[in-house]
Chains A and B, each alone.
Chain A
Amino acid sequence: MAKNKPLKLTDISREVEDRLADIDIEELIPLPPPYDKNGGLPGITQLSDDQKQRLVNNLDGFSALALPKPKNKEEEDKYVRQFEAGLKKLLRKGDNWTFLQPLLLSLEHCVRCQTCSEACPVYIASGRQEIYRPTYRAEIFRRLINKYAKPGGKWLAKLKGADIELNWATISRLFELAYRCNLCRRCSQHCPIGVDNGLITRELRKLFSQELGWAPKELHEKGTVLQLQVGSPTGLRPNVAKDNLEFLDEDFTESLGIKVETVWDKKDADVLLLHSAGDILSFPESVIGFAIICDAAGISWTLSSEIPGYEGVNYGVFYDDVQLARVATRHVQIARKLGVKKIVMGECGHEHKALATVADRLLIGDLNIPRESFMTFFENIVFSGKIKFDPTKNDFPVTLHDPCNVVRNLGIVEPQRRILRYLCPQFREMTPHGVDNYCCGGGGGLAVMSDVNINDFKAAVAGRMKFKQILEAFSDHPGPEVKKYLCAPCLNCKLQLRVIWDYYGVQEKSGIYFGGLAELIVNAMADLKKPFINWGEM
């Protein structure tokens, strides 16, 4: 459709196959050189003709969900009826006690002041595409709830001039649109009334999942379902996890010249470390770093090889309360069985949010095992005097990315900064930072979603603000000759950064490397003869 024609809310129901927006890379907010126009912009992969035939493609030219087109009108109508039933269940105490109060408060009090729009990195980075505005999806959802789930709603919708038709086009577009939001909740922070559009988006996802059984494959079928069955969404089984760490222990023992040994299933240890399995597979320095730090500090710690005790992720936070509860419960049951004093949550933001707060009111009675962030755990160790540090070993430019789920959502802001200010002489903040940070663009489950061409959305649009501020934080050394470290203490953020890095070729062009917090701590340990951070050399 024509780019400059203003979009109406009712356009979501247009029963034709055209898209509501076309994303043109030239219209996105500009990046600093060499990622500006003169550097040659990477494009956006279009759907193939075959994909266009098979898959729903009526939103913005991206497909995160590869939703197949329904066979006939009956199938379409069935889904529409299910969606309508789901709208009603969201308002029921039995079905949705978990979020009923926050949902209703957010639905009933928005005054459409649009203050939230300018807070949203996706909306701004996209060159202010209407469909990505936080209130676009939220207001449509609100009007649908008002019309279809409340008594007299149809009549009132007409009277108030807020009538949106629920049809196949509406729900298929909303399904994709629900996954163009990082659930970072920056918009909610900016709302003068306290309305939470991030919550509304999650409730929309939840409706799709809990009522229609629709969710991104990577989050559900190959996500929480696989995690509960075999142990991890990566497919990593307990014996393979142990085998991999055995390999890593040897590998690092050899390369570092110190003994590295992972502890498994140690009864009555003080601490159960709950990493993400993806760190074992893709960022093993993080997992090994934890082991080195714990041993050096004399901590009694263990990993668990029980399903899913070595996989701390909980994708339920992104889309489904039932799966959220199942995964969180299994995590603490494992800790209870081991008899540990506390769980230390590893470098994974949404694991933090799940275990520290969201599931806190599900893990009641003897399931309420204390859960602590690695940030405070590390701070305590670093400043305990048990380990000798030589900060000059970290004498390179370092900046910090704040994972939304740890910082904006839990208010854990300073411990990591106290560590970095102590151990990294060239530490500098990016702007904005702390609780005002921008999401990496992989939040809300997008980091693990990679179907069709959604990675291009993640790199070009959702992660754009973050990428811009990272480059600006290192503007004193823009070239690749000075190696720079971006501390991103969250696996999901690192996975998203990897997508951005591949898309733009950041390592080659700018010499920026990313990793976690554990790596910087180990790298600064005075007794370690060899450097721990290897700048991508393998």
Chain B
Amino acid sequence: MAKMELAGMMLEVDEHGFMQETDRWNQDVARAYGALEGVNELTEEHWAALNYLRSYYLENGICPMIRRLIKETGFPLKKLYDLFPEGPANSACKWAGVPKSTGCV
């Protein structure tokens, strides 16, 4: 298993840097992920998306559909790509500390 140091913690991650122990996530981890992708400050809009993603994941064991994310946050897809450079699945989910989605999604 790969390891990665983020926000002063040693985290278990997959080969794409997604956290494997979602319980250890905190806001600093999200900021540190953002910084790695060149987003040095997380705005309220970032947090709106991240908080929704994370709470949805914790409740349902899966990331929300893009359509849902768009509807809940009110951000169109383009906006989500502006906020998260690699897009909702590859950046937002990662920053929110949830595992990478696999299996035909």
Contact = CB atoms under 8 A, between A and B. Distances in A.
A538 B70 contact: yes
Interface residues of A, number: 41
A495 interface: yes
Interface string A231-249: 0111111001001100110
- Which 4 interchain pairs have the tightest Cβ spacing? A233-B103, A278-B104, A235-B62, A234-B103
A277 interface: yes
A282 interface: yes
Contacts of B68: 244, 247
Interface of B: 2, 14-16, 60-62, 65-68, 70-71, 76-77, 100-105
A422 to B, nearest CB: 30
Interface string A213-237: 0000110001100110010111111
Contacts of B103: 218, 222-223, 226-227, 232-235, 277-278, 313, 448
B102 A284 contact: no
Nearest to B76: A538
Interface string A424-448: 0000000000000000000000011
B105 A281 contact: yes
A51 B15 contact: yes
B10 to A, nearest CB: 13
> Which secondary structure characterizes the binding site on chain A?
helix
A280 B62 CA distance: 13
Given A54-B2, A240-B60, A233 B104 contact: yes
A447 B104 contact: yes
A237 B62 CA distance: 9
A538 B67 contact: yes
A448 B68 CA distance: 22
Given A284-B65, A284-B67, A278 B102 contact: no
A251 B72 CA distance: 12
A51 B15 CA distance: 8
B56 to A, nearest CB: 10
Contact of A237 (B60, B70, B77, B105): B60
